[in-house]
A and B are shown apart, each in its own frame.
Chain A
Amino acid sequence: MKTRRFLPLLPMITLLAMIGPVLAGLYGAVLPAFGHLPAAGLFGPSLAPFEALFAWQGLPRAMFLSVWIGLASTTISLLIVALIMAGWSGTRSFTVLERMLSPLLSVPHAAAAFGFAFLISPSGWISRALSPSVTGWDRPPDLLIVQDPWGLSMIAGLVIKEVPFLMLIALAAIGQVDTKRSAMIVQALGYRRLTGWLKTVFPLVYAQIKFPIYVVLVYAMSVVDVAVILGPNTPSTLSVQIVKLMSDPDLGMRLQAAAGALVQLFLVIGALGFWLIMERVVRRFGLAWIGTGQRGKYDTITRQIGLVLALFCAFSVSFGIASLAIWSFAGYWGFPDFLPDQFILKNWMRHSDGTLEALGETVLIGSVATLTALALTIGCLEAEYRYKLRVTSRGMLLLYLPLLVPQTAFLPGLQTLMLNVGLDVGRGPVIFAHLVFVLPYVFLSLADPFRAWDARMGTIAAALRASPDRVLWSVRLPMLLRPILTAAAVGLAVSVGQYLPTLLIGGGRIETLTTEAVALASGGDRRAIGVYGLMQTAAALVPFSLALLIPAIVWRNRRGLRHG
């Protein structure tokens, strides 16, 4: 009977685990931003931190970069996804593309960014492939391609990762829209495929995926690891500057960091507001376009462009990972040779202690955070089912809140707050910080299959005199094994990819594959980056393979569960 008293509380506990740290972190940023940091012997209020921040000459440029990179990468990603779905959904090429893109979803951002850098840098794979035959280079040219001042390589690095994400979200959303019949009708009305889709299906799909798009925008504006690897550094983006200030040994610098966190928050709010206005503007133009009745003059060429761009994303990530793999085994590799002179194991042996230790830490943190998230999610969904609760759209917004507040806005405050109340940084708090980001993704991944389960199964089981707990454990959860394992894999991949929570809440002492890999960015040891980047990718990809493999083995004799 313990569950009866405990279960109804789970939604509240879950909400607290997700929202609590975010609110605490924002609160923790406000006090030091106005000069109040007792741990450093400073008492406010004062405007000195903001004055110091505004005195930094790089600030306007850092703020501009944050907004520009966020808006540009989100817009381009959305455009590519819209073009590819409008032009190709339902075709065989689309199925192939979908198969290519979906495993890329779990590749951590940092690994994808490193791989992309290895492709496009002056001594990268593309340059090697074209040298000296096309370019005539016999040594790497002195060009600033990666970390260019306009953040173009960073925008591209974000786009290649966000396209698979938005595409899978859109594919899930499209199931709830009657696309087949509207496609038939618009084609019967003489519309080409792409134009017809954009005019009829896109508005419905956009309404379903707008929260994930906002998440992408906020993420791109405030990401730190990708910015360290691909982003400009004279000056860097605002988020990177905040992290630099946070890691300064002078505690007083945290006041400036807190002020920066608040500026970052307002930038994100402003950018989201701008996006919402643009939604209306695009809507107005879209309605006018629909009113013209144009059937799609430029469909053929637009379709081709969409396909090329989507293939560019898929190949960039996969060849990037391949170049990580080659560097990790590379012996001497002179320019412009396409492949190293020899493949060796020495790089792996040299880093074996470090990677294994970091792998252990990554797996430990990821597993605890994911199992906690799974337990809370299943508890919430089961409480919703048993007590017949209704989830409002406002409730769904709360789920997205931790993903809509930029990490650099609340994590510094959370660290400072912990410092003020005398809590130690370390593994436990890091796990809690990961949970904030793992929980929404686990919940979003499991909620639909859990709710789609045929409730008559529950009625039948109850009529067979099975208690609610027995129905859950012996019927519902086994039937949902595949989506549960998929949600676990999503949770692990999210945790593996976390950089900032591990760095800040771990006080720099918790070393996961991601923090170790990103720490190598400035050093330029490509073999070490290859080893750590590949390990990081594997740590995220292996759980996904298991999530496919385990149900196939466990239910090999159960045809009714093969496609569910």
Chain B
Amino acid sequence: MDKGLELHDVVISKGGAPLLAISKSVASGEVLTVMGPSGVGKSTLLAYITGTLAPDFEAAGRIVLDGHDITDAPPHARRVGILFQDDLLFPHLSVGANLAFGLRVGGTKFERQQKIAKALDEVGLSGFADRDPATLSGGQKARVALMRMLLSEPCALLLDEPFSRLDAALRAQVRELVFARAKARALPVILVTHDAEDAAAAGGEIVTLVPI
């Protein structure tokens, strides 16, 4: 069984007109960077992989993750994690409860709390479990969002311009953190960006989508 995320002859079109075509595979721990002008359908590609494509698009081609064809699986059963440019922390839950939402079912209450505390330690946010996410800084929110996603134990990670809202100093720091955590878990990563620095930092193959 091949580890990694494979896109076999994926073609996405809108109203019969093809929008983008891509056929690539991303091995465990590797990063594939997808670049291109806005409106070319980068985010649409990610929506197809997460299973949340809007109904006005048509798509063909298979998505295979760790040897399983997930093309027709419902979004919550795909084990594909995603981070957006907004942190999208659930505003009604504390930081700890946000992480608990992501954490896989199982374990005693104590064990779960331990795991959450450890995840917060890992990104330098010890003791933040009871905080209201709205009171966190941008960089802190981004780190919580990352750990929440990783605690759900995804088999692949999609990044939809996740660093574009952060200022320059923070940006490099968060970017490094995300890539390091993904690498440590040997996740295949697809990064969508139009920032050349992001692409360089990712260090992997770069494909540029062009309007077709």
Tally inter-chain residue pairs, CB-CB below 8 A.
Answer: 83
Q: How far is the CB of B171 from chain A (nearest CB, A)?
A: 21
Contact B92 A463 (CB under 8 A): no
Report A418-438 residues with CB < 8 Å from chain B CB.
none
Kindly report which residue of chain A lies nearest to residue B91, judged by CB atoms.
A560
Q: How far is the CB of A453 from chain B (nearest CB, A)?
A: 11
Task: Please measure, in the bound complex, the distance between the C-alpha atom of A455 and the C-alpha atom of B91, giving whole angstroms.
Answer: 14
Chain B 165-191, CB within 8 Å of chain A: the 1/0 string?
Answer: 000000000000000000000000000
Cβ 8 A contact of A479, one of B47, B55, B75, B91 = B91
Contact B84 A463 (CB under 8 A): no
* Interface membership of B82, Cβ < 8 A: yes
Task: Please measure, in the bound complex, the distance between the C-alpha atom of A561 and the C-alpha atom of B152, giving whole angstroms.
Answer: 25
Contact A456 B149 (CB under 8 A): no
Task: Please measure, in the bound complex, the distance between the C-alpha atom of A547 and the C-alpha atom of B60, giving whole angstroms.
Answer: 47
On chain B, the residues within 8 Å of A465 by CB distance are 76-77, 79, 104, 152
Contact A459 B92 (CB under 8 A): no
Contact B152 A388 (CB under 8 A): no
Report A468-526 residues with CB < 8 Å from chain B CB.
468, 471, 474-475, 478-479, 481
Which of B6-14, B108-116, B127-135, B199-207 contacts the other chain? B127-135
- Given A462-B76, A463-B75, is A457 in contact with B88 using a C-beta cutoff of 8 Å? yes
* Interface membership of B86, Cβ < 8 A: yes
Contact B101 A466 (CB under 8 A): yes
Cβ 8 A contact of A464, one of B84, B86, B101 = B101
Task: Please measure, in the bound complex, the distance between the C-alpha atom of A388 and the C-alpha atom of B88, giving whole angstroms.
Answer: 22
Kindly report which residue of chain A lies nearest to residue B158, judged by CB atoms.
A463
Chain B 77-93, CB within 8 Å of chain A: the 1/0 string?
Answer: 11111101010111110
Q: How many residues of A contact B (CB 8 A)?
A: 30
Chain B 54-79, CB within 8 Å of chain A: the 1/0 string?
Answer: 11000000000000000000111111
Task: Please measure, in the bound complex, the distance between the C-alpha atom of A388 and the C-alpha atom of B57, giving whole angstroms.
Answer: 12
* Interface membership of B41, Cβ < 8 A: no
* Interface membership of A102, Cβ < 8 A: no
Contact A463 B154 (CB under 8 A): yes
On chain A, the residues within 8 Å of B82 by CB distance are 459-460, 463
Contact A558 B134 (CB under 8 A): yes
Cβ 8 A contact of A560, one of B74, B81, B134 = B134
Contact B133 A560 (CB under 8 A): yes
Cβ 8 A contact of B76, one of A455, A466, A564 = A466
Kindly report which residue of chain B lies nearest to residue A462, judged by CB atoms.
B75
On chain B, the residues within 8 Å of A464 by CB distance are 81, 101-102, 148-149, 152
Contact B76 A460 (CB under 8 A): no
On chain A, the residues within 8 Å of B74 by CB distance are 462, 468
14 A–B pairs (Cβ distance < 8 Å), ordered by A = A390-B55, A459-B75, A460-B82, A461-B76, A461-B101, A462-B52, A462-B75, A462-B76, A463-B82, A463-B154, A464-B101, A465-B77, A465-B104, A557-B132
Contact residues of A with B, CB < 8 Å?
Answer: 388, 390, 454-468, 471, 474-475, 478-479, 481, 555, 557-561, 564
Contact residues of B with A, CB < 8 Å?
Answer: 47, 50-52, 54-55, 74-82, 84, 86, 88-92, 101-102, 104, 132-135, 148-149, 152, 154
Beyond A460-B82, A474-B101, 13 additional pairs, beta carbon < 8 A: A455-B52, A456-B84, A458-B52, A463-B75, A463-B82, A463-B152, A464-B149, A465-B77, A467-B76, A555-B92, A559-B132, A560-B91, A560-B133
List 9 tightest A-B contacts by C-beta distance, closest first. A560-B91, A559-B134, A462-B75, A560-B134, A388-B55, A462-B76, A464-B152, A478-B92, A464-B102
